[in-house]
Amino acid sequence: MTSWGNVYDIIIEPSPTARRWVSRSIYETDLGAAFCGDSLKVLRSKRLQRHKGEVQLVFTSPPFPLITRKKYGNVRGEEYIEWFAQFAPLLGDLVADTGSIVIEMGNAWESGRPVMSTLVLRALLRFLEEGGLNLCQEFVWYNPARLPSPAQWVNVERIRVKDAFTRIWWMSRSDRPKADNRRVLRAYSQSMKRLIQTGKYNAGRRPSEHTIGENSFKVNNNGAIPPNVLNGDEAPSLSSLLKGTNTHSYDQYQLFSRAKNIPLHPARMPPELVEFFLRFLTEERDLVLDPFAGSNTTGAVAEKLGRRWISCEANWEYASSSIARFPPSLITRTCKDLTLEKTDHAASSASSVFTPLFTS
C-alpha cells in the first residue's frame, strides 16, 4: 500500500471550521469513521445513536485524573467522578447484549502528598453502578518504559518506587459477553513443548492442594492461555505477553506528524494492547467504538483486523493527524478541513501538480 508523502499528501487546516456538526465525520474508510468533537455530544448525536445496541466493544483510554492539567484535557478531583460516570449509561446503551466495555486508566496521587488517591477506584465503582455493568475481569498493563513518577517522591526524596502500571477494566452488561481466549493464545515455552512431546511429568496433588491429572498436559491446545498481566517480560515472575510501550519513533503517524510540525499525542496507545482485546472480544465485521481516540490507534488496529470502527477525539490536531495511521488508498471521504491530494511526481519539482481527490 502507498504511504503518505510519496504519491499522496493531505492538507490540514490549522483552524478548522467553527461549529462543525458533531454528527459529521472528518474522515472515513470502508470500515470506519472518525469524528472530532466533545465525546458526550458525539455519543448523543443521531449518527451514533443509530448504532444503539450494535457496538460489540468499546475500547478506550479516557483522560486520567492527573494533578497536572494536560493539553488533551483532564478533569480533576471529585469532579472527575461525576464527569466519568455520565458516560456509563451512554456507552451501555450503545453496547450489544453480548458486548464489552474495556477502559484503561492510570493511577492518581494526592496533590502534594506521597500517597495514592482512591479516585480511580471510586470512579470505577460509580461507572459500574451508573451503567448497570458487571466487572468481568481486571487487567494490569505493565509498562517498563514509563518514566519515574511522581518525580518528587521517586527521584528527589527517594521514598517511593516508579509507578509503572495502569489498570484495564473489562466490563459488560451480561455475565457472559462474547469472548474467546483461544484467539489470544501465547506460544508455548520450550519446556512446555517438550512436556507435551514426551508426555512425562509428575501428576498428583500439589502443596497448593491442586491436583494435576495424568493427562492434564498431554493435549496440544496450540498455545498457552494468557494471564491478565500484560507485558510482563521485564518482571522476573511474569510471563511475556505484549509490548506495552509507546516509545517507537518510526511509525507512519509519527513521521507524518513531525513532517507537518503537528504535536504528537503524549499518551498514545500501543497497537499490540489494542489488538489483544480486539482479538479476544470481537470478530470480523463487529463494531468497535473509541470515544477518547487520541491518535486513533483503536481505529487503525480495527481496520487491520477487519472490524468496523468509530472514533471520537475532541482535539483537532490529534484527530486530524490520526488520518496518517491509515494508508491513503483506504480513505474514502474527508471533511472540507482535510484535503487529500495526489501528487504527480512525473512533473518537475517546480511545477508539481496536486489534484484534490475529494472533499465534502
CA distance 140 to 204: 32
Environment class of 332 (CB within 10 Å of its CB; exposed 0-12, middle 13-18, buried 19+): middle
- Using N-to-C axis directions, what is the helix angle for 297-304 and 271-281, rounded to 10°? 50
- Write the DSSP symbol of residue 72: T
Q: Does residue 86 contact residue 40 with C-beta atoms inside 8 Å?
A: yes
Instruction: List Cβ neighbours of 279 (8 Å cut-off, separation of 6 or more).
Output: 183, 184, 305
H-type helices in 3-118, by residue range?
39-44, 46-49, 78-85, 87-94
Q: Which residue has the cell 509503572?
A: 164
Q: Which of 40-49, 67-76, 165-174, 205-214 is the least confident region?
A: 67-76
Q: What amino acid is encoded at 6 in this protein? A: N
pLDDT at 183: 95
In which band, very low, low, confident or very high, does the pLDDT at 146 lie, cut at 50, 70 and 90?
confident
E strands of 175-328, at which residues? 204-205, 211-212, 229-230, 287-290, 308-313
CA distance 198 to 36: 57
Q: Which domains does the chain have, with CATH numbers?
A: 31-184+225-317 (3.40.50.150), 187-224 (no CATH)
pLDDT at 249: 55
- Write the DSSP symbol of residue 4: B
pTM above 0.95, yes or no: no
